Amino acid sequence: MRKGRKILALVTAVSAVCLTVAFLVFWPGDSPSDLAQVRIRHVLGALEHAQPLADADRAAARGDYRLVAISGYGPVIPAPETVQDRVMKDLCDYRFVPFTSDAGDELTWRLNGVAWNYAKEYNARLVDRAGVNTVCPTTPRLARENGARAVLAELEVADPTKDADKAIAEGDYRIIGFGGWKSIAPGPDSLRRAFEAGCCDFRPVDHANSDDPTPSEIILTRVAETYGAKYNSRLLERLGLEVLCPFARSASGKQ
């Protein structure tokens, strides 16, 4: 899993360089910074009105034992003392609060603070409800298997078309892409080629396309590819390639 995340980080870095140049020259409409503000404010508003204890209870009831993490140089997980040692040993699966970062403006740091407080309450409640060995099993592979099952359960009832429409309304134009042993973006060939060239901002599906996959990760990858193809196709239909992957237009020589 660590190898896959390193590859994913590398692809993200390349994409960031490509997108920075592209946005400065080709972005048709709102600037990237404007869109980033919209995205962050949406997540911030949701967290400020969230109920972490009730959220953790619902997660435990549906078998989702992932801790909540803040994105920084690495995952930052506000965990209770009972699992801190296991967190350090990478025995606990987790999910990030979207758009948290150790680099950003004042709004990003405000989001980080609100996310930290939410995660601290959520994680403590989850461990209290589910137990240490359930939230943080004795091996990293078992933690991955449990995490994959939780993501799989979410995708199996999700509607990719409605999810894409909701993302657009929130200013989130990231396509779905997978890191791991081979970086891919499911969906139309034009989008796949632009992604492989590093010209599309994207978000991964946790545990999909993992190195040395667990049984549930294998199933999840197939389901995520189907979901991602429909999600990405809807984004492309609504926004067009120039918006999703603006530099791809320039690189092809088309104006």
Residues 56 and 166 occupy one common structural domain: no
Assess if residue 149 is contained within a domain: yes
Assess if residue 120 is contained within a domain: yes
Residues 144 and 127 occupy one common structural domain: no
Residues 67 and 132 occupy one common structural domain: yes
The amino acid occupying position 104 is G
With a cut of 80, say whether residue 223 has pLDDT above it. Answer: yes
Residues 115 and 159 occupy one common structural domain: no
58 touches 130 (CB < 8 A): no
Assess if residue 63 is contained within a domain: yes
Number of separate domains in the chain: 2
How long, in residues, is the chain? Answer: 255
Q: Which of 123-127, 210-214, 232-236 has the lowest mean pLDDT?
A: 210-214
Residues 207 and 249 occupy one common structural domain: yes
* pLDDT tens readout for residues 29-70: 444 466 678 888 889 999 999 999 999 999 999 899 999 999
List the domain range (segments joined by +) for residue 58. 40-138
Of 77, 107, 138, the residue at which a domain comes to its end is 138
Q: What is the dihedral of CA 118, 121, 126, 129, to 10 degrees?
A: -150
Ramachandran area for residue 90 (φ above 0: left; ψ -120 to 50: alpha; else beta)? left
Of 138, 164, 192, the residue at which a domain comes to its end is 138
Residue 243 pLDDT: 87
Assess if residue 21 is contained within a domain: yes
Q: Which of 160-164, 172-176, 207-211, 251-255 has the lowest mean pLDDT?
A: 251-255
Residues 24 and 80 occupy one common structural domain: no
With a cut of 50, say whether residue 239 has pLDDT above it. Answer: yes
Query: What is the residue whose two structure tokens read 């911030």?
Result: 44
| Euclidean distance between CA atoms 101 and 117, whole angstroms | 15
Of 99, 122, 138, the residue at which a domain comes to its end is 138
* pLDDT tens readout for residues 135-144: 999 898 999 9
With a cut of 80, say whether residue 252 has pLDDT above it. Answer: no
Residues 156 and 251 occupy one common structural domain: yes
Residues 144 and 23 occupy one common structural domain: yes
With a cut of 60, say whether residue 128 has pLDDT above it. Answer: yes
With a cut of 60, say whether residue 145 has pLDDT above it. Answer: yes
Residue 188 pLDDT: 92
Residues 94 and 183 occupy one common structural domain: no
Residues 149 and 233 occupy one common structural domain: yes
Residues 229 and 247 occupy one common structural domain: yes
Residue 37 pLDDT: 82
Residue 236 pLDDT: 95
Residues 159 and 235 occupy one common structural domain: yes
Assess if residue 35 is contained within a domain: no
Residue % of the chain over a pLDDT of 90:
55
